[in-house]
Amino acid sequence: MKQWYETLFENYGQKYDGESFTQGTIGECDFIEQEIGFNKSKRILDVGCGTGRHSIELSRRGYSITGIDLSDSLLGKAKEKADRQGLKIDFLKYDARNLPFRNEYDLAIMLCEGAFPLMETDEMNYEILKNATISLKEHGKFIFTTP
On whether residue 17 sits in a domain, the answer given is no
Residue 2 has pLDDT above 80, yes or no: no
Q: For the chain, how many structural domains are there in total?
A: 1
Per the CB < 8 A criterion, the answer to whether 121 and 88 are in contact is: no
Considering the domain boundaries, does residue 39 fall inside one? no
Neighbouring C-beta atoms of residue 49, cutoff 10 Å: 28
State mean pLDDT over 98-110.
Answer: 96
Domain that holds residue 106: 46-147
Using DSSP's 3-state secondary structure scheme, residue 77 falls into helix
Q: Could you report the per-residue pLDDT of 36-80, keeping only the tens digit for each? A: 999 999 999 999 998 999 999 999 999 999 999 988 988 999 999
The maximal CA–CA distance of the chain, rounded, in angstroms, is 44
Phi, psi for 138 (deg, rounded to 5): -50, -45
The pLDDT tens digits for 113-127 are: 655 555 567 788 888
144 in a domain, yes or no?
yes
Residue 11 lies in a domain: no
Q: Does residue 4 have a pLDDT over 90?
A: no
Strand order of the β-sheet with 43-47 is: 90-93, 64-69, 43-47, 105-110, 136-144
We report the CATH number of the domain holding residue 108 as 3.40.50.150
Do the domain assignments include residue 112? Answer: yes
* Cα 14 to Cα 103: distance, rounded to the nearest angstrom: 34
